[in-house]
Structure 1
């Protein structure tokens, strides 16, 4: 029987000759990814040992991004740093970036950082932060970037995980008018952690405030650090393909964060593979990515892939609705991006603010919009496509994880553009992340790992490694195998932890995390499905639902709703929204309650923290809240839960 994805010629090519596909891709991208020595072997794996891609090849992601591009793009802008809140702008060419990265490289070596040593970056989206990441890669060191805003305890956890020789930070940053004391946070973190690294501090320009305390035996300003390497060695170091490039700890709940490892060879290949196949990127593009370098999206599609491609990036240091509600659209009009890369959360925020902000600005430079991070609800997709961008550009959802480094399920860019008649065409299905891309083979399974037929909900697994997948956790391979590959007895597959089903056309539809699926009297309903149904009501700006214990049905739905401007909470509206959901799901959509709130608890990367809402209901410990955007949202939901437990919905 022909494979369901064979209708896409590029996927069929991979199916027919998987090793040949990757050898051909290495040749096609030889002007992007530099190999000092070509690989001897494409793939090898003897479980439970770490798998290896492009074995025997020697490369360096920092060199590919900077040195390998400066000859062709020296005078071209690599980054446009933008901080709307402070009114700052800075343009850096590839030549200037090369010089800065070389200075960082030499100074790191002078400070004793060498091959395999780690450095930690606790900074916002700035040119200096990008330079530190690229310089660490260039000399064979391992960087670990922490979101600039995590609490001292969260930073201490990550310091203990990676044991950096140097921490790079900034005296402080500003977020929504509030001063974030980054240097002081590190000081507090190092009181918690027994590890004693050196610290390099970047001084904020244009800030007339008291300087933070400096420990002269440990701390130095960036200018002092760079002076250390003035006459030092800044030459690049080529490393074997499977040597570590960076460690990115995922957020923990009650346990310590998982320190995900990405390596030089497979990582470069995979992020460029996704950039070309899913995003259709080239050196002609200007990329506006609203993510942060503390997340994998920022690492892959702010720091490494754009520079490896020779593109220009808008380095956005701010939030999309402050200091003005249309600041996002201002940035688009002024800097003329061709690609917008954002999150569904950001899209919902823009939708809540209204399409009139978009229509006041010239968006004609934009050729495509992509989102990822959680499901792009169909109603939000419709708003972006029809109202914000006037049906002019494709809006593409897709799926991947921190552990996967780049797109794994998505839409093939060339097939969703206006193509000459006769070429294959790919339908966008709002609400679906698309189909697996070459290299990725997926399956939906039940609780025991048995495959499920199309249309039936279960947990998505990936049947074998692909180049961008993390091969291990930092210094804890046993945990890696147990958490990701050995979840089902007698079966070695990668456990994504995401609930999903595959339709008859092979499109993948996600329903949230597998442990967030609501089980009502034997029926499985995804949290995303209920939230998407709520978002189709004109009153609803945002919604989050969780399953809570029900003595009769096992679980019932607890819903928390943020209303659009012009709507007010009422018992009648509550009933109307519940009936609105039941029109989609029927009587199986049993509600424990619904309450209106002004904000939802979410991480600083924008993901809704459903487990917090569920634990507020059950009274369990909330776990790690270090990644939360606004702690006031927890208090708001706590009060809503108290009201819900008094005002039960009558069935």
Structure 2
């Protein structure tokens, strides 16, 4: 059972390839009521969530379960004064409570702000100052409550603090409160144009930006789930991402539930490729999506048979053709690459019905009018490198594109300069219509499936007394895709040495989330710069 056809009309060519998709939705569309609660009425016993963790615990939830539990969580939030438009930060790792909380916040019209548990107290403080929140719900694990409480105290604001499963001083226990709450909820007024979710990007030329999406955002992920990941009605889809990252929205809830696929969740801390394959086989996963880092590990360790797996997809960074070939040789499954941004949904992909080409970003999603443009705004000819841009429809904005950068209308206007949305990514198109990634116009680093803005790391580096000037770049790494390298001009009083290198790395990494750790330090006498004084990161990378 699925509900996506209520809002979606698709057109296919003679080869069965999607050529056009039209989304129609009511003015008050809300994923929680119109998808989750609708599925709970139409197919109450259909599986929605299959969960397990590295300790051997497991649980399964039907759509009726999700509907009921989310209503309980919504009642708790309402009793605490959380209302439509309020912001709630959520850092729940892969705990199954994330799905109850997310749907609950949608029901009351609050703005969900997902946050990875790996953020430092300084990271959390920055986000609180950018987007004051009315509440925070976090995991009891990994000292996250202490970092959250410390950041809230530093910010000086008052907000409600919840954790789950355990009693933590200073935090209310959401799990216990839900057990005592009513499990039904009358529909509350919301609009499709209301803000629904906000992700913080990884900073590139500055600090992370708040990217806001409205309640139409889930509908755009029909293409993500059905035509790229090829999740199936009644199937079980497994996306590896932790819930603090945008890819969780791509692969762990919206599009999958719209087309009737359950989502598989494995709650783990330490990545083990053998265990990952074990989960796929134990629970009968039918479609799988992970960053190239995961496939590199799988290929390196050897890939056991996965008889239930029918489709495999990847995104987040470039996939080396050798990994594509070896994975396909071992499994018989091609890796379907896809591309998009925090500000968008799926833009380009090796879609169902198209022959997947190793190394290619694929073809444009029919949901968007994609074009390559030259710097002067003219279309880029086939075979030449241009910037990937999105042309808007004649009326309104494309469904699935962000509505604002929080508190920065000038930056939003810059992204939409010339009447098109600028991705900042360079690519070229071949004669068959496939797109090929060339590089980024910004300097974001993609390491181990995570996105890291150099500016965040450089800020910490500059706090070290021996660092006169610095720049951070990504360098090729066989396992991570890219590793973070710091290029440092030391102060005259300190001579470059292995001891100083270790000192700087220890200083930085003790202040950074693990995925942002500096792996290499290189000392130079001076930075290569442009005439205007900007550091040439391209030269540092080469």
CA distances 1:29-53 after superposition (whole Å, capped 9, x unpaired) = xxxxxx5xx3xxxxxxxxxxxxxxx
Equivalent residue number for residue 434 of structure 2:
507
Partners of 2:50 and 2:86 lie apart in 1 by 30
Of stretches 327-336 and 272-281 in structure 1, the one that deviates more from structure 2 is 272-281
2:116 aligned counterpart, secondary structure: coil
Query: CA, structure 1 residues 412+262, in 2 after alignment: closer, same or farther (shift >3 Å)?
Result: same
Q: Is the counterpart of residue 408 in structure 1 residue 370 in structure 2? A: no
Q: How does 1:205-216 map to 2 (within 5 A)?
A: 212=168, 214-215=169-170
Structure 1 gap ranges (5+): 1-5, 15-20, 27-34, 39-56, 173-179, 205-210, 416-425, 518-526, 532-545, 547-557, 564-598, 601-606, 646-651
Partners of 2:16 and 2:377 lie apart in 1 by 29
Q: Is the counterpart of residue 470 in structure 1 residue 402 in structure 2? A: yes
Partners of 1:276 and 1:386 lie apart in 2 by 24
Partners of 1:637 and 1:69 lie apart in 2 by 50
Deviation at 1:7, TM superposition (A): 7.5
Contact preservation (8 Å) 1:259, 1:473: yes
CA distances 1:388-433 after superposition (whole Å, capped 9, x unpaired) = x1x2x232001111111x32111231x1xxxxxxxxxx32211001
Partners of 1:12 and 1:74 lie apart in 2 by 30
Contact preservation (8 Å) 1:160, 1:195: no
Equivalent residue number for residue 105 of structure 1:
74
Deviation at 1:102, TM superposition (A): 0.9
Equivalent residue number for residue 63 of structure 1:
33
CA distances 1:577-630 after superposition (whole Å, capped 9, x unpaired) = xxxxxxxxxxxxxxxxxxxxxx76xxxxxx746xx52x52677999x9887535
CA distances 1:490-534 after superposition (whole Å, capped 9, x unpaired) = x221110112111122211112312359xxxxxxxxx99xx9xxx
Equivalent residue number for residue 480 of structure 1:
412
Deviation at 1:106, TM superposition (A): 0.8
How many equivalent pairs are there? 477
Q: Is the counterpart of residue 365 in structure 1 residue 308 in structure 2? A: yes
With normalisation by structure 2, the TM-score equals: 0.79
2:78 aligned counterpart, secondary structure: helix
Q: Is the counterpart of residue 83 in structure 1 residue 53 in structure 2? A: yes
Partners of 2:121 and 2:423 lie apart in 1 by 29
Deviation at 1:462, TM superposition (A): 1.6
Equivalent residue number for residue 96 of structure 1:
65
Equivalent residue number for residue 420 of structure 2:
493
Deviation at 1:12, TM superposition (A): 9.1
CA distances 1:156-205 after superposition (whole Å, capped 9, x unpaired) = 22222332211101211xxxxxxx2111110121133232211011135x
Deviation at 1:108, TM superposition (A): 0.8
Partners of 2:475 and 2:155 lie apart in 1 by 38
Contact preservation (8 Å) 2:71, 2:182: no
Contact preservation (8 Å) 1:60, 1:237: no
Partners of 1:493 and 1:272 lie apart in 2 by 23
Deviation at 1:238, TM superposition (A): 4.3
Q: Is the counterpart of residue 637 in structure 1 residue 520 in structure 2? A: yes
2:411 aligned counterpart, secondary structure: helix
Q: Is the counterpart of residue 202 in structure 1 residue 164 in structure 2? A: yes
Partners of 1:450 and 1:429 lie apart in 2 by 27
1:442 equivalent among 370, 375, 397 = 370
1:399 aligned counterpart, secondary structure: strand
Query: CA, structure 1 residues 71+627, in 2 after alignment: closer, same or farther (shift >3 Å)?
Result: farther
Equivalent residue number for residue 377 of structure 1:
320
Q: Is the counterpart of residue 250 in structure 1 residue 201 in structure 2? A: yes
Deviation at 1:255, TM superposition (A): 2.7
Query: CA, structure 1 residues 320+384, in 2 after alignment: closer, same or farther (shift >3 Å)?
Result: farther
2:487 aligned counterpart, secondary structure: helix
1:80 aligned counterpart, secondary structure: strand
Deviation at 1:309, TM superposition (A): 2.8
2:250 equivalent among 293, 297, 300 = 300
1:262 aligned counterpart, secondary structure: strand
Q: Is the counterpart of residue 114 in structure 1 residue 83 in structure 2? A: yes
Q: Is the counterpart of residue 164 in structure 1 residue 133 in structure 2? A: yes
Query: CA, structure 1 residues 407+232, in 2 after alignment: closer, same or farther (shift >3 Å)?
Result: closer
Contact preservation (8 Å) 2:428, 2:435: yes
CA distances 1:78-134 after superposition (whole Å, capped 9, x unpaired) = 2121212x2222222222222211100111111101111111101111111111111
Deviation at 1:437, TM superposition (A): 1.6
1:187 equivalent among 135, 145, 149 = 149
Q: Is the counterpart of residue 429 in structure 1 residue 357 in structure 2? A: yes
Deviation at 1:458, TM superposition (A): 2.9
Higher RCO structure, 1 or 2 (CA under 8 Å, sep 6+): 2
Partners of 2:523 and 2:104 lie apart in 1 by 49
Contact preservation (8 Å) 1:410, 1:436: yes
Partners of 2:228 and 2:443 lie apart in 1 by 28
CA distances 1:516-553 after superposition (whole Å, capped 9, x unpaired) = 59xxxxxxxxx99xx9xxxxxxxxxxxxxx9xxxxxxx
Equivalent residue number for residue 461 of structure 1:
389
Which 4+ runs in 1 deviate beyond 6 A?
6-12, 618-622, 624-627
1:237 equivalent among 174, 188, 191 = 188
Partners of 1:452 and 1:293 lie apart in 2 by 37
Higher alpha-carbon Rg: 1
Query: CA, structure 1 residues 305+12, in 2 after alignment: closer, same or farther (shift >3 Å)?
Result: closer
1:395 equivalent among 314, 327, 335 = 335
Equivalent residue number for residue 555 of structure 1:
none
Partners of 1:231 and 1:562 lie apart in 2 by 51
Deviation at 1:466, TM superposition (A): 2.1
With normalisation by structure 1, the TM-score equals: 0.67
